[in-house]
Structure 1
């Protein structure tokens, strides 16, 4: 009877750990990256920015993200995974607070850069931590737990979709600064749950073969190409879609509703749907499916005006966009030896970040030209289509057995 009780309680504790770790993506992507889309129209109006300048600020964030992603595994080894994860959230919170205390473009760019670096470390290390939550070897359960972790992004988008419009309404011209400050304070409150969760995750297996890791990474080349294109495609939409909707005549609270629906669709789909689907698909089929769903989600606001098109776009795009990191994290877990999960996810996130750095800048330049924001967002459609094609070339190959595991099998 006692054993049955322990077995029943175990999944619940696994999901609670994943939910605690989800504080990382709430701050890293929900607040630091995506909430900027809500703040951009007000900031652009008050600070007299072009769309290229607005995209450039997001590029500064993405450049920081590239460096943070590339150094995530190093920080994990240097400070420990749990400590790196929590410190990343703290620094991200301080960068959010700093963004609300200045209107200087250079200072804002620096805070966006620092925020990008810190959140990348948090997201990379957190993805590896979520992959290491004990499941007794059950692949489908592991995919579901990674999905819970990624659902933090949607939760963060929903929170931002309520907090930012409230700040813009209450403080008017200075509302964008209040929005950054409020998100910074909320980020600090999430440090507690994150710190609790990391204590429950076992340490990574020690490295046993660098050559095995390198060859496994080379076999994931199509996934790297997919992630660059996917990152550039989806983030161009996320950066400028609110500005497009405002140009189409939607007000502050209408666009806030759009953002809340998008975040809610993301959280629910990541929690309830994608974990199961990704757990069953092999190779590049899951990333390709994600790209197609996200591409379809971009089309309604480009083809039609009005609330119905906006809501359709929010539901479809929201349901798909965070399935991308879920799919690539699960793929890395399957194809890399355990000790290489953090570094593998880090390098994949670098690829993702390169796309996120380039996409908004090019989309911003296109948006400043004849054709406006819609012209920039058609770039998303093209890039997402190319990403789906690239992903289909990915084949799934299991990592070679660890030397230690082979020796133990031989002894038996």
Structure 2
């Protein structure tokens, strides 16, 4: 039986907004406001990289907990925990007096992203017919771009007032949490739609087809980290552009990333492997382009647009890939690739910081771009039309 448009919107829209708050504000806004934070609390690039990795580390811990808690508590409670973590974490960032206090706050805020993703995938699998799940999941995932664009717009108005910006983000997170409490379904029963498509050989966590996904997601996470953490530093300190231009980068990145909402349809047409490789090339081009021409605003904005599209498309691709591998356990299917993206970022952030301090921005970004190219060697095994049953299932 089909869902009505209004009931589908009741799931997708709050999920998209929660994703925007947790990913776009609580996690990725750190790189946007990093220059101002360094001036206020005092940080070397290495310390900034270590603090940046704290957000990803918090994500790793939280997503493991979330994958397990969703199957025990249901998606609604875990999604509300994500909203609370984002609210508290960003409030702590706003009042952090030192690098170490900031590191704890960034880690705590980063936990919200790990808590958010599995329950959203689970509620989609419970409530949305199979034919619409890939589109719903990639639309929700594109909420990251909404948050990134919003954080950039706020920074344009309050360029150096990062504490005030994070207080505003905290208010947004609290409001989103209240909205979720009112709108998210309370159902905790079995998954009535994903059971239709279950074709996995067993219900265990380890599956052979998960290994290429682990490699791909980890490589992409690592390759993207230099940009997320140090793009602002590069255009200001190396390129000589004004700090207001960092905000423009984030706005462009977020708006371009909204194209990631079309990832489900693109994957259905081209397949996981083709989309995975195509947008890794785009990720590498964005990273290398910024390092080669950091003083050109046009190049920097073009690089940001490429990065936004590539990152969101790749995140959506790995989401669909994971849910296909774990078709009977959608929270695990989403959680695993997002966990491995974060593992790559946990490793990549301090490596990028150390390279920025010991070599140059150009060398650092070129090295990270090369990782994106190397990750293209990974392919989705045994891809077939059966992986995209939304076209075969009756409406």
Using the size of structure 2 for normalisation, the TM-score is: 0.88
1:71 maps to which of 44, 56, 65: 65
Aligned twin of 1:45: 39
Please state if 1:184 is matched with 2:170. Answer: yes
Aligned twin of 1:386: 374
Task: Give the number of equivalent residue pairs.
Answer: 380
Aligned twin of 2:140: 149
Question: Does the Cα contact within 8 Å between 1:18 and 1:197 map onto a contact in 2?
Answer: no
Counterpart Cα distance in 2 of 1:131 and 1:320? 25
The 1:315–1:12 alpha-carbon spacing in structure 2 relative to 1, beyond 3 Å, is farther
The 1:295–1:210 alpha-carbon spacing in structure 2 relative to 1, beyond 3 Å, is closer
Aligned twin of 2:88: 94
1:349 maps to which of 334, 338, 348: 338
The 1:211–1:36 alpha-carbon spacing in structure 2 relative to 1, beyond 3 Å, is same
Counterpart Cα distance in 1 of 2:290 and 2:251? 16
Please state if 1:261 is matched with 2:263. Answer: no
| Matches for 1:121-140 after TM superposition, within 5 Å | 121-135=115-129, 137-138=130-131
> What stretches of structure 1 move > 6 A for 4+ residues in a row?
206-211
Question: Does the Cα contact within 8 Å between 1:242 and 1:255 map onto a contact in 2?
Answer: yes
- Which string of whole-angstrom CA distances, capped at 9 and with x for unpartnered residues, describes residues 286-321 of structure 1? 322221222222232122231110111122111121
Question: Does the Cα contact within 8 Å between 1:85 and 1:122 map onto a contact in 2?
Answer: yes
Aligned twin of 2:56: 62
Aligned twin of 2:348: 359
Aligned twin of 1:27: 21
Counterpart Cα distance in 2 of 1:92 and 1:64? 12
Question: Does the Cα contact within 8 Å between 1:131 and 1:146 map onto a contact in 2?
Answer: no
Aligned twin of 1:287: 276
1:244 maps to which of 227, 230, 234: 234
Aligned twin of 1:278: 267
The 1:130–1:258 alpha-carbon spacing in structure 2 relative to 1, beyond 3 Å, is same
The 1:199–1:230 alpha-carbon spacing in structure 2 relative to 1, beyond 3 Å, is same
- Runs of at least 5 residues in structure 2 that lack an aligned partner in the other structure: 388-395
Question: Does the Cα contact within 8 Å between 1:81 and 1:129 map onto a contact in 2?
Answer: yes
The 1:148–1:369 alpha-carbon spacing in structure 2 relative to 1, beyond 3 Å, is same
Query: How far is the alpha carbon of 1:202 from its aligned partner?
Result: 7.3
Counterpart Cα distance in 2 of 1:80 and 1:201? 7
Greater mean deviation of Cα atoms: 325-334 or 207-216: 207-216
Counterpart Cα distance in 2 of 1:16 and 1:292? 36
- Which string of whole-angstrom CA distances, capped at 9 and with x for unpartnered residues, describes residues 109-152 of structure 1? 111222222320112322333344413x31xx322211210111
- Runs of at least 5 residues in structure 1 that lack an aligned partner in the other structure: 1-5, 400-412
Aligned twin of 1:217: 207
Greater mean deviation of Cα atoms: 142-151 or 70-79: 70-79
2:4 maps to which of 7, 10, 13: 10
